[in-house]
Structure 1
Amino acid sequence: MDFLSAYTPSNLLYLWEGFQVTLLLALIAIICSYVVGIVLGILRYAKIPVFSRVLGAAVDIIRCLPLLLILFFTHFVLLPELGFQVSPFVAAIVALTVFEGAMISEIIRSGLNSIPKGQIEAARSSGLTYTQTLRAILIPQAARKMMPPTVSQFIALLKDTSLAVIITLPEVMHHARILSAHNSNSVFAILFFVAVMYFVVNFALSKIAKKLEAKHV
């Protein structure tokens, strides 16, 4: 375990550059997957004949597949077959958005289903349309219940970005692997530093999730 040779300024800067890619990837994927998850969750909750069933089946299939497979398939098969030659960064965003969007859609749907049906009936009987009921009654109440599990899913997303190393995305794990290959004695030190960076960010997010959960219990 050679910490001195591992923690040179150039190595630490190289790891930090990789972690910046990780954080940027996670941020964009969080925003995209949240938007996709909200749309899918509401459409599934609406129970549109046939469409909602087909959509639900598609979401269930995606949720049952490993993210590693989705990343590999998106970058090397799906996007090229559709005529898109994109960078590993864009492919990773697409794959994470699809996978995490499916996960978040289930959180959204479950949150909406947790609201008592009586409130919906009361809102509709008072003259509100379905859209108005959804916007003014259901979503504000469900949002408070959905926030903690949504933040937890975002934490999982940040950790899942490490899988993008399979498509040679130059994120932090990719950089850590290169540094480790140059000096086998520094593997532990390098991975330890990467673990600390992940821990700091995820610990902060977990604290936010716990505070939100305690606030809305």
Structure 2
Amino acid sequence: MTSTTLTAEPKPARERPRSAERVSVLYDVPGPKARLRNTVLTVLVVLVALFAVYAMVSKLDEKNQLDAALWTPFLRGDVWVNLILPGLLNTLSAALVAAVIAVPFGFVFGIARLSEHSWIRVPAGAVVEVFRAIPLLMMIFAVMYGGSAVFGLTVTPFTAVVTGLVLYNGSVLAEIVRSGIQSVPRGQSEAALAIGLRKGQVMRMILLPQAVTAMMPAIVAQLVVLLKDTALGFIVSFEDLLNAGARVLPSNFNNIIPAVMVIAVVYIIINLIVGALATWLERRSRRSRRTAARPVAPADSVAAPGAPGGVAAPGMPGGVATGDD
């Protein structure tokens, strides 16, 4: 009784190139002269930046804008609780409400622009192009004053700001969604249709999961723009963070330049947090999809005589060898 078992030979592990040996195909590796030139230019740029900072600080000191009396109000808790935090909460509230509405708006109109039905595609394209072309501030004015003049409605600054943000940023997000879906190779949707999936299933199961990962950086960038655009509510007396820094604080302490600088730092911190959160979500989504999509291989693949290594004989369970008595 003889038994023959063929197993697949393990492939040698591919060695990862060392960092010093990595060569980019997009540009030539700089030589000694180029590295020296880059170093010199870097040092010069740093020196120019330091000189600019020194000149700005010196000018502020010359104009008495660094006096302690102008900056000490920001060390008081009541200033933050009563003046700055209410504006910050209004800014975050407007940005959050606008983002919650603008993102679905963008997905709906972005997908509608890809519809094969002209009665869906053409109106969706018209809406997106019109609201992308109109300046955001003009839309805020139109909602704020047009609502009362035409329809007799009382429109609050919060409503005007959120409506303008939704219409403008939602239209931009619609273009991001459309381009993200179109970036997925066409062969994937054709293969899905060939195996019997409906167009809605192809969009939901094949295109959107891949497109979201590709779109995430652009979506995050647009949400940061949305957050900063809330400052336009300052024009219609929206009590946001900029209003606190440019109106409320200077009227109490006569420190408009320090106030604007502090408010700018707050905006920077908020945007950094939003960007970090989006990066974390993107990495987590990629990791979860990669883990879910990893195929589970059998522990031991056995082949029949004459069959390719690692392939079991037809009709035999994997891992069972055939033999001749």
Structures share a fold, TM > 0.5?
Answer: yes
Q: Can you list the C-alpha shifts for 1:126-151, whole angstroms capped at 9, x where unaligned?
A: 11111111111111111111111101
1:85 pairs with one of 138, 154, 159: 154
Task: Please tell me whether residue 10 in structure 1 is matched to residue 78 in structure 2.
Answer: yes
Q: Could you say which residue in structure 2 is the equivalent of 1:46?
A: 115
Q: Distance in 2 between matches of 1:83 and 1:33?
A: 26
Q: Distance in 2 between matches of 1:79 and 1:99?
A: 21
| Aligned 8 A contact 1:152 1:209 in 2 | no
Structure 1 residue 12 displacement after superposition? 2.2
Q: Could you say which residue in structure 1 is the equivalent of 2:251?
A: 181
| Aligned 8 A contact 2:147 2:155 in 1 | no
Q: Distance in 1 between matches of 2:273 and 2:187?
A: 38
Change beyond 3 A, Cα 1:136–1:85? same
Return the letter of the residue paired with 2:271: N
Q: Could you say which residue in structure 1 is the equivalent of 2:298?
A: none
CA RMSD of aligned residues (A): 2.2
1:76 pairs with one of 145, 148, 165: 145
Q: Could you say which residue in structure 2 is the equivalent of 1:157?
A: 226
Task: Please tell me whether residue 95 in structure 1 is matched to residue 155 in structure 2.
Answer: no
Matches within 5 A, 1:25-174: 25-78=94-147, 81-174=150-243
Which structure is larger by alpha-carbon Rg, 1 or 2?
2
Q: Identify the structure with the greater helix proportion.
A: 1
Structure 1 residue 196 displacement after superposition? 1.2
Secondary structure of the structure 2 residue equivalent to 1:45: coil
Q: Distance in 2 between matches of 1:163 and 1:108?
A: 26
Change beyond 3 A, Cα 1:67–1:178? same
Which region of structure 1 is more displaced relative to structure 2, 108-117 or 52-61?
52-61
Secondary structure of the structure 2 residue equivalent to 1:115: coil
Q: Could you say which residue in structure 1 is the equivalent of 2:289?
A: none
Secondary structure of the structure 1 residue equivalent to 2:113: helix
Q: Distance in 2 between matches of 1:5 and 1:127?
A: 67
Higher relative contact order (CA 8 A, sep 6+): 1
Q: Distance in 2 between matches of 1:80 and 1:48?
A: 37
Give 5+ residue unaligned stretches, structure 2: 1-64, 287-325
Return the letter of the residue paired with 1:57: A
Return the letter of the residue paired with 1:128: L
Number of aligned residues: 215
Task: Please tell me whether residue 205 in structure 1 is matched to residue 274 in structure 2.
Answer: yes
Q: Can you list the C-alpha shifts for 1:71-128, whole angstroms capped at 9, x where unaligned?
A: 1111111465345323211221111111111011011101111111111111111111
| Aligned 8 A contact 1:6 1:189 in 2 | no
Q: Distance in 1 between matches of 2:148 and 2:113?
A: 26
Structure 1 residue 68 displacement after superposition? 1.0
Give 5+ residue unaligned stretches, structure 1: none
Return the letter of the residue paired with 2:129: D
| Aligned 8 A contact 2:141 2:160 in 1 | no
Show structure 1 runs of 4+ deviating over 6 A.
none
The two structures have a TM-score, normalised by structure 1, of 0.90
Return the letter of the residue paired with 2:203: L
Structure 1 residue 178 displacement after superposition? 2.4
| Aligned 8 A contact 1:151 1:209 in 2 | yes
Q: Distance in 1 between matches of 2:74 and 2:149?
A: 38
Q: Can you list the C-alpha shifts for 1:36-67, whole angstroms capped at 9, x where unaligned?
A: 11111110112421441232133122212221
Q: Distance in 1 between matches of 2:152 and 2:116?
A: 34
